[in-house]
Amino acid sequence: MALGSGPGGAAGRGVSPAVAALLLTLIAAVAAALAYVWIAGYMGSLAPRGGLRPLEVLKIDAVGYDGATLTLYVANVGEADATVVSAYVLAEDRTAVCSWSGSVTLPRGSVGALSLSGCYLEPGRAYTALVSTSRGVEATYRMGLPAGAPTSPPQAPLFRIAGYNDTVYGPPGGSARLVVEVANVGAAEGTAYVEVRDHSGTPVARSWARVQPNSAVQAALSVDLPPTKGAWTWTLKVLNGATNAYDDQRSFAVHVAEFDLRLVSRTALILESFEALPSGWSPLGGKWSIVPEGWLGSALRGGDDDKGPGAAAAYYYAAGPIQPGFQAVVKLGAAKRNDRVYKGYILLAEPAPHSSFYEVSIYPWGRFVHLAIYYRHQGGRRELSRARAGYVSEWYTLYLAYTYEAPLNRFTATLYDREGNAIASVTDSDSAARPSYLGLGVD
């Protein structure tokens, strides 16, 4: 059967082999040209002006370790300079054991060292070191604990804040005293720097102390209070001088106010007007009596005969021990200029003439009336904190807030003039004794 092209066509005609080969060659050439144009245009759109960007390639060649610091030796084996911006050592669960951040430029063909401090590795565990450049190029290095490396951290101090004033009070523009107990729980002696930062993060006070391992010391700081009334949260921080890192920090409250003090019976656990010698109170030394020269009526008068605790005279509430936290207000009269008679609160360790005690008292001298906190014992007197104000009259009001949080006793005392204006304030803490009885004293 013959195929025809139609009437008058030449049956069996087609394209000759030579022509077919030529057509295939032309089609292939055109396709190759089109592919070249497309690829060149695409690559040109990816490359920056001026040509393709040289490749960054990093390689971690080796590591060094001294028990606390891991050093990574990083080689730039690429075609361009590279800037390393971060480095990590990761545990098997991808948590960071230690890290470094900064900016180190490695010219192509060079090797640089990165030191990661505080890097404590454990034997038998696998770790991954990872470095990254500013363009996101990474290099990794799998490793275990290097042979011969120390297996425990080097001896160093480690500081903790063991006690501090959690609240300070004072008048606008006044000052407050902080006592911070710093414990060294590390293995070596070191220097602890105690810093106070206000509510805006601004440093307002700093002190330092050398602390032996497994011991604690107290650092005293004086801070200036804001000039306006209010309440804020400030921060305590402890800087380790050996590591130049902050080991611990705590927050405390700052209250700036001028208190309106009133003695109200319905809010007082103990309220004594001293119109007569009260029941439940007992003397320890001195001569105590009721006199008519009180603030509103009668008053309690004490005379010192050097036979009470610390050669002072005490009149204490014997009906029960004090609570771990209380506040007290007392009116103090007959504070004559230059009489230098101490009068105020006594917090006794025990109801005995030989007892140690804390004293929060005032005494007038010269142009000032002084407010102070003391620790007193058979061996003498140790001043904890002091403030002073201008002498204005014979009558003052002394406010005391006391809390006990083992092992620290915390005291805040504010002195007011006869008009109710806050004129001086002191805050301190101590752990030499544990008071059990509250009383009034003169010396």
Please indicate, yes or no, if residue 42 is contained in any of the structural domains.
Answer: no
Higher pLDDT, 3 or 124: 124
Please indicate, yes or no, if residue 287 is contained in any of the structural domains.
Answer: yes
Q: Are residues 350 and 270 in the same domain?
A: yes
Residue whose pair of structure tokens reads 């640089």 in the numeric block? 112
Q: What is the pLDDT of residue 272?
A: 63
Q: Are 133 and 81 in contact (CB under 8 A)?
A: no
| pLDDT at residue 341 greater than cutoff 90 | no
Residue ending a domain, choose from 114, 143, 172 = 143
Q: pLDDT grade, residue 242 (50/70/90)?
A: confident
The single-letter code of the amino acid at 141 is Y
CA pair distance 293, 275, nearest whole angstrom: 11
| pLDDT at residue 262 greater than cutoff 60 | no
Q: What is the pLDDT of residue 87?
A: 93
Q: pLDDT grade, residue 321 (50/70/90)?
A: confident
218-238 pLDDT tens trace:
888 888 888 888 888 999 999
397-427 pLDDT tens trace:
899 989 998 899 999 999 888 777 788 889 9
Q: Are residues 279 and 411 in the same domain?
A: yes
365-397 pLDDT tens trace:
888 889 999 999 877 889 999 998 888 888 888
Higher pLDDT, 295 or 56: 56
Q: What is the pLDDT of residue 413?
A: 92
Q: Are residues 406 and 290 in the same domain?
A: yes
172-219 pLDDT tens trace:
887 777 778 899 988 888 899 999 999 999 999 999 999 999 899 988
Quick one: which of 110, 257, 266 has its CA closest to 170? 257
| pLDDT at residue 16 greater than cutoff 80 | no
CATH number at 103 reads 2.60.40.10
Number of domains in the chain: 3
Percent of the chain with pLDDT over 70: 80
Q: Are residues 417 and 271 in the same domain?
A: yes
Q: Are residues 173 and 314 in the same domain?
A: no
Q: pLDDT grade, residue 254 (50/70/90)?
A: confident
Q: Are residues 137 and 174 in the same domain?
A: no
How many Cβ atoms sit within 10 Å of the Cβ of residue 223?
Answer: 18
39-57 pLDDT tens trace:
444 444 444 444 455 688 8
Higher pLDDT, 394 or 261: 394
Please indicate, yes or no, if residue 36 is contained in any of the structural domains.
Answer: no
CATH number at 333 reads 2.60.120
Q: Is 219 exposed, middle or buried (0-12, 13-18, 19+ CB in 10 A)?
A: buried
How many Cβ atoms sit within 10 Å of the Cβ of residue 413?
Answer: 26
Counts of helices then strands in the chain (DSSP H, E): 1, 28
Please indicate, yes or no, if residue 29 is contained in any of the structural domains.
Answer: no
Please indicate, yes or no, if residue 52 is contained in any of the structural domains.
Answer: no
CA pair distance 317, 340, nearest whole angstrom: 25
Q: Are residues 122 and 66 in the same domain?
A: yes
Quick one: which of 258, 261, 201 has its CA closest to 232? 201
Q: Are residues 343 and 195 in the same domain?
A: no
CA distances from residue 374 to 249, 353, 430 in whole angstroms, order as listed = 28, 17, 10
Q: Are residues 376 and 396 in the same domain?
A: yes
Residue ending a domain, choose from 256, 276, 304 = 256
Q: What is the pLDDT of residue 236?
A: 92
Q: Are 275 and 300 in contact (CB under 8 A)?
A: no
Mean pLDDT of the chain: 79
Residue ending a domain, choose from 87, 109, 143 = 143
Residue whose pair of structure tokens reads 């990794």 in the numeric block? 140
186-195 pLDDT tens trace:
888 889 999 9
Q: Are residues 106 and 127 in the same domain?
A: yes
Q: What is the pLDDT of residue 239?
A: 92
Residue span of the structural domain in which 295 resides: 265-442
Q: What is the pLDDT of residue 322?
A: 79
CATH number at 169 reads 2.60.40.150
Q: What is the pLDDT of residue 49?
A: 43
72-122 pLDDT tens trace:
999 998 888 999 999 999 888 888 888 888 899 999 888 889 988 878 777
Q: Are residues 80 and 179 in the same domain?
A: no
